[in-house]
Amino acid sequence: MEKREVLKEYFGHEGFRQGQEEVVDCLLTGKDALGIMPTGAGKSVCYQVPALMMAGITIVVSPLISLMNDQVSALVQNGVPAAYLNSTLTLGQYNTVLARIEQGRYKIIYVAPERLTAEGFLRVCGRIDISMVAVDEAHCVSQWGQDFRPSYLKITDFIDSLDKRPVVCAFTATATDAVRDDILKLLRLTDPLVVTTGFDRPNLFFSVIRPERRNDTLLELLEARKDKSGIIYCSTRKNVEKVCDLLVAEGYPATRYHAGLSESERQQNQEDFVYDKKPVMVATNAFGMGIDKSNVSYVIHYNMPKNMESYYQEAGRAGRDGEQAECIMLYSVQDIMINRFLINNSEPNPELTPQQQEEIKKADEQRLKYMTFYCSTTDCLRGFILKYFGEDPPESCGKCSNCISSSELTDATVDAQKILSCIARTGQRYGSRIVSYVLRGMDDEKIIQLGFDKLSTFGIMKGEKERYIRELFRCLEAQGYIIKTEGEYPIIKLSPTSREILRGEKPFMIQKTQNKKKKVVSASSASDVLSTKEDQQLYQALRKLRAEIAERIHMPQYIVFSNAALSEMCRVKPVTDEEFLSISGVGKRKLDFYGKDFMDIIRKYK
């Protein structure tokens, strides 16, 4: 079967997305490949299509149980013989899967990295033909990545143990240049094709809100997004419990997920979310990597995460089906302190030297700094993200809170000049706390001892709130006008560009946040964009049928059909097999299983 026939037969797609065909062709010629593609870009198709065309078996190394469950369920639904090996299997189930692998009953096997070097698995692998090893979430191999897992370093040991080296491919959604280089080196990819399709997700709307009362803002956001599925990320287990209790008390169908829960409760809560029994998930970052739930309409960060890599990966769990979705950040100064505490008190990795631990800590602090810049910038948010990952975006995307809220910018040039002047007059030898005390004219013993109460800038911002001055410091740093040194006691210094502000050659703009709510555009659901009332009614009828089928076969609804597929059915209104197969996401197996029921409903409306 030719590659496009495989794509349509098993996955229901007429053509490949950007970058997919290039990787597929490379793997089919026996060459290694690295794909850096954003969440929702279809990384799995890059290795699943060639896996079905190769003679032997494909091993997929996957870091989380949830990812394996989702991927294998979707493959089996599409008629692909697949299985997984992880800790959820009993000894009997594990041995049964091993026996079936040896019998050649599967084409694709998902394996946790910890299981790669298990004696029984290695023994079976020595007796079968392994055509390809695919490494998902490949950034986990790098200690400079946000999700370093020492078990990923065993992958090359596994490959070396095989009689014949298979084709090796690796995929990740987020990778800086340093992480990309680590992937290439540590996985020992041989003369690989490297495909980077770009990090942009055009269907996502990005916004940063600085709420006065975080819980009130969260409830307002959820009120406008009823009947939609979403994830709310919190930085601590305590916040997860607090927020989940609040939402349940307010009548929202919410559940929770963090590492402090028992494994059985985590599994049940995740299942309730995936199966849309409780479509709102409140979680720490322990939840989500590999979750393939395609109908997540929004991701709200109740707290700012530690780095851009984590943020973009977590935010990217919205809109995987291509529908419009939102990524909303609720930001406050307290988030910076929480993240610094988490960085300074993280569990040391026993497999790293003290020097390596210190280097990683410094890298974490630097990444946190960029995360605060993102929350403080007045520039395009999408552009900030794309620049961070090495792309050159346009100045404005027209689809983030900064781009649509330019009227909320305010000129803070005079206040910025006061701060920069004070930094200069105190000798560029102190931190923001001392400078802030001088600006506010604080009657402080150290300020008097240093003679700073005699400076012309002493009390020049008397009456201004400390919070406002701290915000100005962050904005000045984010825009490159001041530099904060590293270390336990950071010092604030002027950058060369600060002269532009001091001389009045350039205005200093900040986002106006006091006593003003930032407008956040709500993403349209699939039913919202349908042109007629009849189409919207048809969409709801198809959703009801999908829910009934999913309940009957014990599968998540999005595995039956995505929201995007239902929306397309409403527009195309297929009533023949050929027409139904034209819908993106409909392969032959799904036509055979579900086509008649869906077309019967469409005929009634048509």
Determine the pLDDT at residue 528. 54
Q: In the chain, what are the domain boundaries? A: 3-196, 204-404, 409-511, 533-605
Answer CATH for 3-196 from 3.20.20.140, 3.40.960.10, 3.40.50.300, 3.30.2130.10: 3.40.50.300
Question: Spelled out in words, what is the top-level CATH class assigned to the domain 409-511?
Answer: mainly alpha
**Residue 468 CA to chain centroid, in angstroms?**
31
State how far the Cα of 343 lies from the Cα of 360, in Å rounded to an integer: 10
Q: Which residues pair with 233 in a beta bridge?
A: 283, 301
- Above 80 in pLDDT, residue 178? yes
Determine the pLDDT at residue 407. 47
Determine the pLDDT at residue 530. 66
The answer to whether residues 46 and 35 touch, using CB atoms and an 8 Å cutoff, is yes
Determine the pLDDT at residue 518. 46
State how far the Cα of 83 lies from the Cα of 298, in Å rounded to an integer: 31
Is the pTM of the predicted complex or chain greater than 0.75? no
Mean pLDDT for the stretch of residues 211-229 = 92
In which residue are the tokens 């992480």 written? 179
- Is 204-404 in the same CATH topology as 3-196? yes
> Which CATH architecture best describes the domain 204-404?
3-Layer(aba) Sandwich (3.40)
Lowest average pLDDT, out of 95-99, 280-284, 340-344, 345-349, goes to 345-349
Residue 106 phi, psi dihedral angles, 5° rounding: -125, 150
Mean pLDDT for the stretch of residues 569-584 = 93
SS3 331: coil
Find the helix or strand (DSSP H, E) in which 110 lies: strand 108-111
State how far the Cα of 215 lies from the Cα of 217, in Å rounded to an integer: 5
Question: Could you report the per-residue pLDDT of 50-104, keeping only the tens digit for each?
Answer: 999 999 999 999 887 777 887 898 899 889 999 999 888 889 999 999 999 999 9
Q: Which residues contact 125 (CB under 8 A, 6 or more apart)?
A: 59, 158, 161, 162
CATH 3.40.50.880 fits 533-605, yes or no: no
